[in-house]
Structures are given as structure tokens and as C-alpha cells.
Chains A and B, each alone.
Chain A
Amino acid sequence: MTIASDVVTVQVLLFARFAELLGTERLVLDLSRPASLQSVLDRLMMLPGGAGLPPRPLLARNQSQATLDTQLEDGDEVAVLPPLAGG
């Protein structure tokens, strides 16, 4: 039985090829605390198409680059970024 404070709800943004793989640009995940970006990636990889994600993609938490061990708080915005191609 989980109580509310043990749940970390994050919004996950997917871009470009990763949005194509998962078939969506945005989803909400409820994670159990403690939650990290690795927790998000693990969940994404279980979704249809998610197996195509690389094991160590570029990641962002609240619009700043972050790493797999970055801890998440309730309400965070998480982004999974394909290889960059600007310029």
C-alpha cells in the first residue's frame, strides 16, 4: 500500500526520434520514492517501442542537463533527448 508522499509524479517529454519510437511526445509517470532518471528510463523501456531507446541517452531535469543518477522530486519535468543536431 503506497501513501501519497511516497509517489513522485513527473512529466516526461520525448523529442524527435524518441517521440517517434514511443508514439508520444509527453507522458506522466508515477514513480516510487526514491526516484531517479534511471527509474524513468527503466519505465520507458518497458513501454511499446521503448526497447529502442539507448541505455544512456542525454537527459534533462527541469530544463538542465542531468545524469541517470539524478534524483527526482514530485512535479519535475524530465526530458529524454536524442543526439543533438542543431546549428
Chain B
Amino acid sequence: MAVLRETPLDLTALIAAVTSSERGGIAAFLGLVRDHDGGHAVERLEYSAYAPMAEKECETILAEARARWPMAQVALEHRVGALAIGDAAVAIAAAAPHRDEAFAACRYVIEEVKRRVPIWKREYYADGSVGWVDPTAPGGSVPARPEVERRG
């Protein structure tokens, strides 16, 4: 199943996909677009990805989670494209026989996604400037090149 999606994420569907009668604990994570980042007021943003590598890396992360918690089942989706404040950017559902494995598998997957998956975030700030989110930079972002507004 493809992880990257250009349409709104559906956490309920992810939970349904991992639910089974032998798994009594489900942990879910939903990452939403914040209205501020690094002291900037954010109006909207765009996620882009190196899609084939991102899909492969996500499948690898999910396989690692299955290896570490063999009884767990984890589902993951990540948005790409234009998102508004409050939109879900990433959704994870992890089901396991008991809560410890469910929480652990869910936590593992989100942390590895942030660390390893080639996805980038272009933020449009309320003051009209644009930035690339860069966790390695002071302040957490670097200026992006403004572009001609594409919305006609």
C-alpha cells in the first residue's frame, strides 16, 4: 500500500486496517500542520518528496517494526502537496495484543519517518516570506526563493 497520498488522510481507515480480534491495544498518532513554527506564524505549507525512495524507506521502517514487535500490525500514511493549518500531515495506527507493543511500535515508526524519509516542507509565513524547514539550521528553517503565485 502506498504511503504517500495527495488526498486527506483517514486515520479511521488506518485503524480499521490494523484491527483484528487478537490485537486488543491500538495506539494512533496524527501529526497536524501547526499555525506557527520557529517563531513564525505559518499560513500554509507544501510537502514534497523523493517519492520512490520515500515509499521504499517507509516500507523498510514498517518491516523493522514488524520484526521488533512480531505481534503488532502498523499502518502509515503521509501527505504530499499543499496543506492548510490543521490538516493531517502524517497518520499512524499500531495495533498489538497489548498496549506496550502498540505504543512502542507507533512511536518507533513516527521517529524513524522523521529521521529517514526523504520528505521536505516548504512553509508560507504570514509576513509573506517562504522558508524550507531545516532541523539542522538555527531557527529551524532557511529562506526559500519566493516564486510567482501560481493560483492565477
- By a beta-carbon cutoff of 8 Å, the part of chain A in contact with chain B is 13, 15-17, 20, 58, 60, 63-65, 79, 81-87
**How far apart are A82's CB and chain B's nearest CB, in angstroms?**
6
Q: A16-B132, A20-B144 are in contact. Are A84 and B119 (CB under 8 A)?
A: yes
Confirm or deny: B53 has a beta carbon within 8 angstroms of a beta carbon on chain A. yes
B103: min CB distance to chain A, Å: 17
Chain A nearest CB from B63 CB (Å) reads 14
Q: Check B132–A15 contact: CB distance below 8 A.
A: no
Q: How far is the CB of A49 from chain B (nearest CB, A)?
A: 10
Q: A13-B50, A17-B132, A63-B53 are in contact. Are A86 and B78 (CB under 8 A)?
A: yes
| Proximity bits, B51-66, A CB within 8 Å = 1, else 0 | 0111010000000000
Chain A residues, Cβ within 8 Å of B132: 16-17, 82, 85
From residue A75, how far is it (CB to closest CB) to chain B in Å? 15
User: How far does the alpha carbon of A85 sit from the alpha carbon of B121 in the complex, in Å?
Assistant: 6
Q: Are B145 and A20 in contact (CB under 8 A)?
A: yes
26 CB contacts below 8 A, A to B, read: A15-B48, A16-B120, A16-B132, A17-B134, A17-B144, A63-B50, A63-B52, A63-B53, A63-B56, A82-B134, A83-B137, A84-B114, A84-B115, A84-B116, A84-B118, A84-B119, A84-B120, A85-B132, A86-B49, A86-B54, A86-B90, A86-B117, A86-B118, A87-B110, A87-B113, A87-B117
Q: Which B residues are in CB contact (< 8 Å) with A15?
A: 48, 50, 118, 120
A79 touches B50 (CB 8 A): yes
Give the chain B neighbours of A82 by CB distance below 8 A: 120, 132, 134
**Once the chains are docked, how many angstroms separate the CA of A79 from the CA of B56?**
15
Total contacting residues, chain B, CB less than 8 A = 32
Contact of B122 with A by CB under 8 A: yes
| Given A16-B122, A17-B132, A20-B145, A86 and B47 contact (CB-CB distance below 8 Å) | yes
Q: Pick the 10 closest A-B CB pairs, nearest first.
A: A86-B119, A16-B120, A87-B114, A85-B133, A63-B53, A85-B121, A17-B132, A83-B134, A83-B136, A86-B117
B123-139 near A? 1/0 per residue, CB < 8 Å: 00000000011111100
**Does B84 count as interface, using CB distance less than 8 angstroms?**
no
B48, A84: Cβ atoms closer than 8 Å: no
